[in-house]
Structure 1
Amino acid sequence: MFNPSRDQARQFIINAWHKRRQATPATPLETLAADLIDLHPEYHALLEADDALTNEWTPEHGETNPFLHLSLHLAIEEQLAINQPTGITALFNQLLACHGDRHEALHVVLDCLGETLWRAQRDAQPLDSNAYLDCLRRAAG
């Protein structure tokens, strides 16, 4: 199982963005990451900064960690590609129909995934797929 360190995950995203900017060959996963970065122009300068690997972004300071945000996007794309947890693709399609914008619908999923991950960490429990899907059902309501 692939379990990158924080720095490895960050370096992957930085490298994917660098390859996009330099128009050099990339793996399919790097291409997907760069496509997601393209959707977030507010992160472009952050990913190009010298301190990108070491900078900290904390909610206490009203900041969104761009690496966490983009990593959640990548996780969601993988979940949608394999419909795991089962039913996520249909729920995403409902959200897409409601919002009419793929990126906006992805952010709804991202909010549910983030909440579910937070609860799992807080409670020292595995991720609750049913709670995740319930959150998506309520959002698609």
Structure 2
Amino acid sequence: MSVPDGRGSMLAQPLKPPSAGRIAAYLGLFLLGIVVGVAGALVQGAWFPGGLLLALAGAAGLFYGGSRATGSRAGAVAPAAGWVVTVVLLTASRPEGDFLFGAGGGSYLFLLGGMALSVICATLGQGRRPGGDGVRLGK
């Protein structure tokens, strides 16, 4: 069975393994997610509410920018994974009783808002579309 314009089979094509450059880009975005997570954790508590908004805007910019730069949803998932891992590790208290996040509304908004932004940016990211050009309605 072939496509009417002769482009080939309508069956799904196997995925090619990612190139070394793409893997390096995802690793760089993961590391940037770590940096933005640490910076956001420090800023959101220092200048409330402006610091919270700045931290969330920085996270959203990184997530969506990673998606746009790589042209895939994985570009948003890589920095979001680094951000989430970092923020979750920073919320854990140490045996000495030290912690970075206080038990306040701002820290919970940072945690939940950042996670929601990561899901939103990964969903809005450019995914693979079958057929390349998209669906055309009418002539």
Q: Report TM bin, short chain.
A: under 0.3
Tell me which protein shows more helix as a share of its residues: 1
Return the TM-score normalized by structure 2: 0.26
User: If the length of structure 1 is used for normalisation, what is the TM-score?
Assistant: 0.26
Flag the structure with more relative contact order, 1 or 2, with Cα contacts below 8 A and sequence separation at least 6: 2
Query: Rg: which structure is higher?
Result: 2
